[in-house]
Amino acid sequence: MSIEAAITRALPGIPRSTSPVDQIAYARDLWPRHHLAVTEGRIAEHRPGMIVWPGSTEEVAQVVRFCADEGLPLVPYGAGSGVCGGVLPDDRTVVLDLKRLSRRRSIDRQAPSVDIEAGALGIRFEEELNAEGFTLGHFPSSILCSTVGGWVAARSAGQCSGLYGKIEDMVASLECVVGRGEIVRFERRVRGPDLTPLLIGSEGVLGVVTAATLRLHPAPSARAFGAFSFPTLEAGWNAMREMFQAGLRPAVSRLYDPFDSFMARLGAVRRHRARPDAGAGASDGAAGRARGARGPGAGAAVLRGLLRAPGLLNDLVDAVGARVLRGATLILIFEGTARASADDLARAAAIAERGGARPLGEEPARHWLAHRYSVSYRQAPVFMAGAFSDTMEVAAPWSRLDALYRAVRGALGRHVFVMAHLSHAYPDGCSIYFTFAGSAPSVAEAEAKYDAAWRAALDAAIDAGGTLSHHHGVGRSKAPRLGAELGLGADVVHALRGVFDPAGIMNPGNLLPRDAAAPRRPVPPPPAAPALDAASLLVHAAGSVRLGDVERALEPRGLTLALDPVAASREMTLDAWIAAGAPGAPDPWSDPVDHLVAGFTARLASGADLAVRPAPRRAVGPDLLALFLGMQGRVGAITSVHLRAHGASRPRALPASLPRQPPLGDAEAAWLDAVLSAARGVR
- In one-letter notation, the amino acid at residue 439 is S
Q: Which residue has the higher pLDDT, 329 or 385?
A: 329
Residue 321 has pLDDT above 70, yes or no: no
Beta strand pairing call for 429-438 and 113-117:
unpaired
pLDDT level of residue 281 (50, 70, 90 thresholds): very low
| Dihedral angle sign, alpha carbons of residues 306, 309, 314, 319 | negative
pLDDT at position 322 is 56
Among 169, 158, 469, residue whose Cα is nearest residue 333: 158
Residue 376 has pLDDT above 80, yes or no: no
Tally DSSP H helices, then E strands, for the chain: 23, 23
The per-residue pLDDT for range 186-212, each reduced to its tens digit, is 999 999 999 999 999 999 999 999 999
- In one-letter notation, the amino acid at residue 415 is H
Tell me the average pLDDT of the chain. 92
Residue 203 assigned ligand-binding role: yes
pLDDT at position 654 is 97
The domains of the chain, with CATH numbers, are: 3-97 (3.30.43.10), 222-466 (3.40.462.40), 531-680 (3.30.465.10)
What is the pLDDT averaged over residues 41-67? 95
The per-residue pLDDT for range 329-359, each reduced to its tens digit, is 999 999 999 999 999 999 999 999 999 999 9
Residue 49 assigned ligand-binding role: no
What is the pLDDT averaged over residues 293-319? 75
Residue 566 assigned ligand-binding role: no
% of residues, the chain, pLDDT over 70: 93
Residue 270 has pLDDT above 80, yes or no: no
- Among the residue ranges 331-335, 399-403, 515-519, 598-602, the one predicted with the least confidence is 515-519
Beta strand pairing call for 94-97 and 50-52:
parallel
Residues in the chain: 683
Residue 290 has pLDDT above 50, yes or no: no
Distance linking the first and last C-alpha atoms of the chain: 41
Q: What is the phi/psi pair of residue 438, to 5°?
A: -150, 175
pLDDT level of residue 285 (50, 70, 90 thresholds): very low
Residue 207 assigned ligand-binding role: yes
The per-residue pLDDT for range 643-664, each reduced to its tens digit, is 999 999 999 999 999 999 999 9
The per-residue pLDDT for range 141-170, each reduced to its tens digit, is 999 999 999 999 999 999 999 999 999 999
pLDDT level of residue 282 (50, 70, 90 thresholds): very low
Q: Which residue has the higher pLDDT, 103 or 521?
A: 103
pLDDT at position 473 is 97
pLDDT at position 273 is 59
Residue 213 has pLDDT above 50, yes or no: yes
Q: Decide if 607 contacts 683 (C-beta within 8 A).
A: yes
Helix (H, G, I), strand (E, B) or coil at 61: helix
Q: Decide if 186 contacts 668 (C-beta within 8 A).
A: yes
Residue 12 has pLDDT above 60, yes or no: yes
pLDDT at position 401 is 98
pLDDT level of residue 523 (50, 70, 90 thresholds): very high
Residue 492 assigned ligand-binding role: no
% of residues, the chain, pLDDT over 90: 83
Could you give the residue numbers annotated as active site?
433
pLDDT level of residue 276 (50, 70, 90 thresholds): very low
Cis peptide before 397 (omega within 30 of 0): no
CA dist., res. 96 & res. 177, Å (int): 12
Residue 375 assigned ligand-binding role: no
Q: Decide if 415 contacts 310 (C-beta within 8 A).
A: yes
Distances (CA, A) of 532 to 243, 554, 555: 20, 8, 11
Q: Decide if 101 contacts 54 (C-beta within 8 A).
A: yes
Residue 52 assigned ligand-binding role: no
pLDDT at position 283 is 41
Residue 278 has pLDDT above 60, yes or no: no
Q: Which of 39-43, 171-175, 303-307 has the highest mean pLDDT?
A: 171-175
pLDDT level of residue 287 (50, 70, 90 thresholds): very low
Among 437, 509, 507, residue whose Cα is nearest residue 36: 437
pLDDT level of residue 277 (50, 70, 90 thresholds): very low
pLDDT at position 656 is 95
Which residues, 6 or more positions from 273, have their beta carbon under 8 angstroms from its beta carbon? none
The per-residue pLDDT for range 405-452, each reduced to its tens digit, is 999 999 999 999 999 999 999 999 999 999 999 999 999 999 999 999
Residue 603 has pLDDT above 60, yes or no: yes
pLDDT level of residue 268 (50, 70, 90 thresholds): low
pLDDT at position 284 is 44
pLDDT level of residue 272 (50, 70, 90 thresholds): low
